[in-house]
Amino acid sequence: MLDAIHEFKKTHDAAETERVVHEWFDQQSDVLSAAIDANSRIAYHNQIKMEAAQDGNWYGGAYDGDYTKVRQRQLSEVWAQRSDARSNRDIWQVVMRIQQAFFRVRCDVILNRSKTAYDWFRIRNANGVGTY
C-alpha cells in the first residue's frame, strides 16, 4: 500500500492524494469494524452459552435418562466451540493486519513524508472501544 501511495503522490496533488488515501481508509475501516463487531458477537454468544451451562440448561433442560442425547449435545458443543475459536482467530488476524497497515501508512505517509496530519485518520481499537 505504501508503494502505491508514493507512486500516486508523484503525479497527483496533496488534496487528490488525501482523497484517495481517505477512500482506502474508509473501506478498510469498514472491514475492521465488521471484524471487531463479529468478534464481539462471538464473545457475547459464548457468554450466553456459559451462563446457560451455569444455570443447568446446558443440555436443553431436564435430563430425560437418554445419555446418548446428552453425549450428542456435548459433542455438538465441543465442535461449536472449536468452530468459534477458529473464527475468532481468523477475525483477529484481519483486525491486526488492518491496524498494522493503518499504523504503517500513518507513520510513513502522514508523519514522515508529508508532515500533514489527517484529522480523520483514527484507528479503531481492537476491543471496539475508542480510537488512536
Max Cα distance, the chain (Å): 75
The type of residue at 19 is: R
Domain regions of the chain by residue span: 2-57+65-114
Give pLDDT, residue 16. 92
In whole angstroms, what is the distance from residue 124 CA to residue 118 CA?
Answer: 15
Alpha helix ranges (H) inside the chain = 2-11, 14-54, 67-105
How far apart are alpha carbons 26 and 22 in whole angstroms? Answer: 6
Can you give the pLDDT at residue 115? 53
* pLDDT tens for the 132 residues of the chain, in order: 888 888 888 899 988 988 999 999 999 999 999 999 999 999 898 888 878 776 665 555 555 667 787 788 778 888 888 999 999 999 999 999 999 998 888 887 666 655 556 777 878 887 777 777
What is the reported pLDDT for 31? Answer: 95
